[in-house]
Structure 1
Amino acid sequence: MRLNSAYYERILAEYQLTEESLVSIEDIRKFPFTTKADIQTYNKEFLCQPLSRITDIVSTSGTSGAPVSFYLTDNDLERLAINESKSLSIAGIHREDIVQLTTTSDRLFMAGIAYVLGLRKIGASLLRVGPGLPDLQWKLIKEHQTTVLIAVPSFILKMLEYAEKNQIDPSATSVTKIICIGEPIRNQDFSLNVLGQKITDKWPIHLYSTYASTEMATAFTECHAGKGGHHLPELVFAEVVDQQDEPVPPGTSGELVITTLGIEGMPLLRFKTGDICQYHLSLCECGRTTLRLGPLQGRKNQMIKYKGTTLYPPALTELLHELDYISAYYSEVVTDEMGLDCIKIYVAGNEKDADLISRIKEHFQARIRVTPDILVTTTQEINAIKMSFNFRKPVDFIDHRTTL
């Protein structure tokens, strides 16, 4: 890494570090952190291979900052296939499965190509349907006897709404499990959160949670026990640190830091993911002894301090998921004239505006003891805003703060 990456050549020289400085696991703390801002600013300086050896270029989604490009060699693609085959095997997928992929494989999306490569390595059959189109999803499930869905959980709710309107019984289909990506489906105690419960109330099916990112090119995937995503230590070295960058004990919230292993194109050293979570070391019911990551609590740079309460955007989403009387929503945080965080939530529903606002405020007051500003609009206007950023999925939270 040091000899081939212009960025790490410079940074490690500043810290007077060499490969020989890393003798034991504890020595990793001698090395500096890498941030997303570093990769955004010095993107191609992270390259460890000439462009002639790069086979595929992927990009982060840009939902939490400017998109960042990553460059993969043939061996990196093989590593990606190994990661996904191992991860999906942890979730019980095998070569007899017929897997329906409801997420995009284009727009420089690493996960899309990872699923394809991993399922090919497993030997499972794959239906690359892509996002949206609930009617087509159900049609193909019936036609091809799909056994596994890979999907964003909120899209499963849209599929269930379509099924209910069109007399489709999900329980009578061939699908046995759903691999959930992009959104949390569990609380910190591993019970299903509101989103996960809404799915299983209408469709008694086994949900598997995953956590991954383009930067680590690795996934933490649940087994049947549903007690956290299993670490693949041969592919990524993981740390969880507090606000002082000190390691935290198991069961304590901190920021996930990763060092990628086996990557040729753009390896990363102590990359701060910005994701807040807990890790667990107890023996899993499945018998695996590796570290497990609990549900993502939020992103460090999106922490909201509102009227004396500290919140992360997923907490707002969770509360809004509980309200069956609203048809659409998104939340945003802005900086008010005093320089403080101010939360605004835009909703659409079937009740009178005043009644809707009152009910939502009561719900927030009861659950988190603070009441954000509630603004009532139409479902069409909300959906237009959520899709206007041209990201890979609709946006539920928008950060308009002038300082973070």
Structure 2
Amino acid sequence: MTNYLDINKNEELLKKQLNYALANSPFYKKRFADCKIDIDAIQSHEEFRKIPITTKEDLQNYNEEFIAVRKDEIIDYVTTSGTLGNPVSFALNDTDLDRLAENERLSFEMVGVRKSSVVQLTTTLDRRFMAGMAYFLGLRKLGAGIVRTGSGLPGLQWESIQRFQPDFLVAVPSFLLKMIDFAIENGIDYKNSSIKTAVCIGEPLRNPDFSLNSLGQKIKNLWDIELFSTYASTEMGTAFTECEYHKGNHSLPDLIFSEVLDENQNPVESGKIGELVVTPLQTQTMPLVRFATGDMVKFYGQNCDCDRKSMRISTPVGRKKQMIKLKGTTLYPQQIINLLTAFQSLKIFVIEASLNENQTDEILIRIPNDFAEINKLQEHLQAGLKVKVSLKKTSVEKIEQLKFPRESRKPKLFHDFR
């Protein structure tokens, strides 16, 4: 089964987006001319795939050439999180902001948010962060109640929950654990709070087989609320969101055309892992055509028990550029993170990748100086990864500095020095 599942439904929107990019984007005017791409001649999947991939390097190196509107039309400037390098600038006009609001309205409705709901946003609306603004715009369009607490400050989060009685939280999964720890330490009856559901962002929550990963399971064991997984990026301006059956993250076919491609840029079959390549639809300021996200996802196909006819994918199993070849074994950082998170007595860690003298990959995991179960942890990792990795005792202060760099908007558990 090919993963071009939505092409009949959104073929008109896709063609319209291609023509818009050709007419208005300096980058794509040149790209289509150089590659002799005739938009009107694209009548099949094979012809569409002749359009070259747009890379993150293209977006970094030719950033201004992607702007397809007059500068005085731009309303909001944001940047990407910079996970794989320097943050990339991105801009939105009024139409893009309306589209962003519609994306989040649809996504929140998918997880059960209604006009009568109250949603607490534990995300920042500042620091050039698109997601926090998107959640606010989407909830406003839906008409739901919003509590804007921002990031951090567990005490404020619980005071707000007690004061406003929200039913939903939007939060990074690891922050939910901090909220639970704070509640336990301060005698807060968190299990009987108003919160029934958490919409989880920024970190993977599930394994490719739909089961909760170690982080998700740890949260669920401590706090029996419903957990929804989401996946998005600044460049896409679109979210992939779980439905109530929790069997993959659904695309929004009217807002994005998606492909999952193998290393030869051919569509993968259902059940296989490939790189997510996207063409956001109905965008104006910075249209992207066949943009390679760098995220490796599992493709599930279209059929779902919820009867929505849209592509389903996993949250990223890893970054294409972060793939590690360790003694003949292919690994992604998230596999290591899941195993470390599952080891209950290990409270903090960071992972470092580097090249050894033979220019092959090496992995080093920094663990606290006072961690006592180093042999058990080594056995646990070797059983899960099928290969031995190095552990190094480090001060908690040093690990915290690496995990929470000042310039980052989210915890950084993996550092790539290759």
RMSD, aligned CA = 1.2
Rate the CA distance shift 1:351–1:275 in 2: closer, same or farther, 3 A.
closer
User: 1:180-329 maps to which residues of 2 (within 5 A)?
Assistant: 180-329=200-349
2-structure distance, mates of 1:296, 1:215:
15
2-structure distance, mates of 1:83, 1:368:
37
Aligned length: 398
Q: Hey, what does 2:393 align to over in structure 1?
A: 376
| Structure 1: tracts of 5 or more residues without a match | none
| Structure 2: tracts of 5 or more residues without a match | 1-20
1:44-87 per-position Cα deviation (integer Å, ceiling 9, x unaligned): 10111011111111110111111111111100000000000001
Q: CA deviation at 1:368?
A: 1.4
1:349-380 per-position Cα deviation (integer Å, ceiling 9, x unaligned): 6444xxx3322211111111212111112222
Amino acid of the residue matched to residue 372 of structure 1? V
Amino acid of the residue matched to residue 173 of structure 2? P
Q: Which stretch has the larger CA shift, 315-324 or 385-394?
A: 385-394
The correspondence for 1:339, drawn from 341, 347, 359, is 359
1-structure distance, mates of 2:383, 2:300:
31
Q: Identify which of structures 1 and 2 has the higher relative contact order when contacts are C-alpha pairs closer than 8 Å and 6+ apart.
A: 2
1:126-176 per-position Cα deviation (integer Å, ceiling 9, x unaligned): 111111111110111011101100000000011111111112222210011
SS at match of 2:260: strand
Alignment pair present for 1:361 and 2:391: no
1-structure distance, mates of 2:92, 2:368:
43
Q: Which stretch has the larger CA shift, 32-41 or 323-332?
A: 323-332
Q: CA deviation at 1:282?
A: 4.6
Amino acid of the residue matched to residue 306 of structure 1? L
Q: Hey, what does 1:399 align to over in structure 2?
A: 416
Contact (CA 8 Å) 2:268, 2:299: kept in 1 or not? no
Contact (CA 8 Å) 1:149, 1:178: kept in 2 or not? yes
Amino acid of the residue matched to residue 309 of structure 2? T
2-structure distance, mates of 1:8, 1:139:
50
TM-score, length basis structure 2: 0.93
Contact (CA 8 Å) 1:277, 1:294: kept in 2 or not? yes
Q: Hey, what does 1:141 align to over in structure 2?
A: 161
Q: CA deviation at 1:10?
A: 1.0
Rate the CA distance shift 1:75–1:351 in 2: closer, same or farther, 3 A.
closer
Q: Which stretch has the larger CA shift, 297-306 or 274-283?
A: 274-283
Q: Which stretch has the larger CA shift, 25-34 or 192-201?
A: 25-34
Amino acid of the residue matched to residue 80 of structure 1? L
2-structure distance, mates of 1:375, 1:247:
41
Q: Which stretch has the larger CA shift, 327-336 or 359-368?
A: 359-368
Q: Hey, what does 1:78 align to over in structure 2?
A: 98
